[in-house]
Each structure stands twice: as structure tokens, then as C-alpha cells.
Amino acid sequence: MEYSQTIELFYFFEDSFIGQYIRNSTWLFPIIESFHLLGLAMLGGSVVIADFRLMGLVLKTESNSYVLLQTKPWFKLGLCLLVLTGVPLFLSEAVKCYYSRAFWIKMTCLVIGIAFTFFVRNPLVLKIENGKLISLLGFSSFLLWTVVAASGRWIGFS
């Protein structure tokens, strides 16, 4: 898409009903943002426990696949909460996001993170179970989601 088309699209998002509604309210943005943070904690906890297990740092007597399967539903729940709250937050300040480098870094890492988790990390852990590669997967996943969270926070500073 060309530059002008992209920015037009972002203006369209910002002019959307939900975007305007949140902007016109004093409390709505902060409250949605707070729940976004709670979703992040849930996703973050799942990532920390699962990835630290893959790196061999916690729950060493339990198998990788067991820990992954136990944390997976909460990862998904956290992700749902994040998307459900994240989209309205984005709509309310889409144009600011367009000009924010942190936003683009976050979105890029988020897409990679989701694809990596569901199509690479999870299937491989369930298939191969142990080994150096699995530790590397855990480390990469942890790093990716850390960047997503930190750059997400950074959108607020720009």
C-alpha cells in the first residue's frame, strides 16, 4: 500500500465510532488500558512459565509438553483479552500510532510472536520434546514477547 493510502486508512480508523467514543471519554481509555495490562500479565505469566521451562530454569521434573499444555489455554485467554482491549485503544489514537516507531516495532513483533508461538514453538515442543533446539525456542519466544510488551508500553511515551 502506498504512503497516502495507509495514512488515510489510519485516519479512517481514528474517525470510527469506537475511536471517537473512547476519545470523547475521560475514563474509558485508562480503564481499557488497565485491562490491557492485566491481559498482558496473564499472557506474560504463561510465556514466562512455559519458556523458562523450555530453557530448563523451572519445573525441571515436569515434561516440556506438560507445562506447555497447562499454560496454553491461559496464553490464549490473555491474548484474547489483549486483542479485545488493544483494538479499541488503537482505534482511539490510530494516527498517533501511525507516526510512532514503537507501534510498528510492536506490531511486527506481535505478528511474528503469534506465528512463532502457534506454528513453530508449540508444535515443535510437542513433537521433539527435549534438546538444545527446544531451549533456543524458549529463549526466542521469551525475547519476542518481551519486545512486544516493552515496545507496547513505549507507544505511550511517544
Q: Is 83 in the site for another protein (CB under 8 A)?
A: no
- Pick the binder of another protein from 7, 16, 28, 45 (CB under 8 A): 45
- State the binding string over 89-128 for another protein (x if CB under 8 A, else -): ----------------------------------------
Within 27-131, residue ranges assigned H as helices are 28-54, 64-92, 94-98, 101-115, 122-128
CA distances from 108 to 39, 57, 113, 114 (A): 19, 28, 8, 10
CA angle 55, 61, 67 (to 5 degrees): 60
The interface with another protein within residues 5-34 (CB under 8 A) comprises 26, 30-31, 33-34
Rounded to whole angstroms, the Cα distance separating 87 from 89 reads 5
Residues 46 and 72 sit within 8 Å (Cβ to Cβ): yes
The span from the CA of 105 to the CA of 118, in Å, is 20
Asked if residue 149 binds another protein (CB under 8 A), the reply is yes
Q: Does 74 contact another protein by CB under 8 A? A: yes
Give CA separation, 121 vs 4, 40, 42, 157, in Å: 37, 19, 19, 32
Minimum CB–partner distance for residue 146 and another protein (Å): 6
Name residues contacting another protein, limited to 128-147 (CB under 8 A).
Answer: 146
Among 7, 28, 55, 58, binds another protein (CB under 8 A): 58
Among 12, 20, 21, 66, binds another protein (CB under 8 A): 66
Q: Residue 30 CB, nearest distance to another protein (Å)? A: 6
Site residues, another protein (CB under 8 A) = 26, 30-31, 33-35, 37-38, 40-49, 52, 58-59, 62, 66, 70-71, 74, 146, 149-150, 153-154, 157
